[in-house]
Amino acid sequence: MTSLVVDASVAVKWCLPSQREEFVAQAEELLNSYQRNEILFLVPDLFWVELASALWKATRRTEISPDEATSALSFVRDLGIATVPCDDLVPQALVLAVSHGRTVYDSLYVALAMQSESEMITADERLANSLAARFPVKWLGAF
């Protein structure tokens, strides 16, 4: 089974109103493939903090209610996505961040993709463009 590392920018597409988000259809197709057991998702444990933070920001902008944010987080948690602790990923993530000018946060996802011999999927086009030539990083908009 194919494993994909998805970052929080992809999961946000599953949670926020469609009219405010681009590439929702691509994100939902990935989710559908996961739910049909065609692919396996992997995330570093940082994913959950980033997703909750994005949902919090959406409540601050009054795009969703606090109850909707809580429900969205529960929905994603109930998917049972395999979660990997960051502590073993941090050394490689730091090297990637320093050598390629990316944040350690983003580099944790790339390090997980490399360690798990998977591709990373992100909705962050700049991130994908900056790393795709050297690392297994794909932009959601290309699906």
The CATH class that applies to domain 2-142 reads alpha beta
Tell me the two tokens of residue 44. 């570093």
- What is the per-residue pLDDT across 69-126, written as a single tens digit (0 to 9) for each? 999 999 999 999 999 999 999 999 999 999 999 999 999 999 999 999 999 999 999 9
CA distance 13 to 100: 27
State how far the Cα of 18 lies from the Cα of 21, in Å rounded to an integer.
5
Segment 33-54, tens digit of pLDDT: 999 999 999 999 999 999 999 9
pTM of the model: 0.93
- Domain assignments of the chain as residue spans, ordered by start: 2-142
